[in-house]
Amino acid sequence: MRIGVLEGVFDLSPAAWVRERLTTFGVNVASVIPEGFERYGRILHPARRDGRPVSWSEVAAHNSRAVHPEMQWHAISGLPPGEPGAPWDEGPMAGSIPEDLTGVLVEHLRSHTTTPGSVWFAVWTGWGAHRLAPRPGTRASGGVQALPDRDEPLPPAFELPAREYWLLHGPIEGALETMSSRGWQSVNLWWPEDRAWFVSTEIDFAWTYVGGTRELIDGLMADPRLEVLHASLTDGVAFDADRVNGSDPEDQ
């Protein structure tokens, strides 16, 4: 069972170590990315204005909010999207790192692993129009392209706290494969065979965590195509984690 250059995996043992290095679900960064890496970075998914990317820092500055590692979108965004004076008309993508940023990330990560041809990918089983599990007999409706029938058995899913994922394997370029038949949907977790780094895009977050060496994280932070903040495993991830800006800009 394949998705482009990726192959669905039935042996889930390569993912066993991930669960061993996670903590309780939904508490902090260590809940969604394994411990044990030298440094961690938080890649913020941009908002958009007329299709142009708008950084969180730009939005925060517009609304006189502070940029800091636990910054939350709802605490800095201010005016509703599209309102006169708002610097954005489309919020950041949640649960999927944008396709263009995925390509940038692949550029960096390829040189920070000895096994770029052997990378493990995990995708949440709950996405709609999933390319890994199209339902037999689905027909085109409302202009949506029909999903092809598939007779192969589905691979088993592995469990992490409050989530189930299918496991896939392939070269690092597999990160550029969409998981949806209806548009772009990134994989949620990926790591190389040598475990030199780890990428985690939790389904409810409008950002992506990367763990790796100091050199890797510094390189990501220096790339003008990305907006990256340093992250610590103890940083909060819940709705109320932004203790600097508060939970609602109107409360300030």
What is the tens place of the pLDDT at every residue in 32-70? 999 999 999 999 999 999 999 999 999 999 999 999 999
Residue ranges of domains in the chain: 2-131+154-251
What SS3 state is found at 101?
helix
For 154-169, the pLDDT digits (tens) are 889 999 999 999 999 9
pLDDT for residue 139 is more than 60? no
Determine the residue type at 123: V
The confidence score (pLDDT) of residue 151 equals 59
The 3-state DSSP class for residue 153 equals coil
What digits encode the pLDDT tens for the residues 90-123?
999 999 999 999 999 999 999 999 999 999 999 9
Q: What is the pLDDT of residues 188-247, one digit of tens each?
A: 999 999 999 999 999 999 999 999 999 999 999 999 999 999 999 999 999 999 999 985
- Per-residue pLDDT for 137 more than 50? no
Given a contact cutoff of 8 angstroms between Cβ atoms, the answer to whether 198 and 39 are in contact is no
Tokens of residue 51, six digits: 């299709």
DSSP type of residue 224:
T
pLDDT value of position 79: 66
What are the structure tokens assigned to 111, written together? Answer: 């040189």
For residue 249, what is the DSSP state?
A: G
Identify which has the larger pLDDT, 57 or 2. Answer: 57
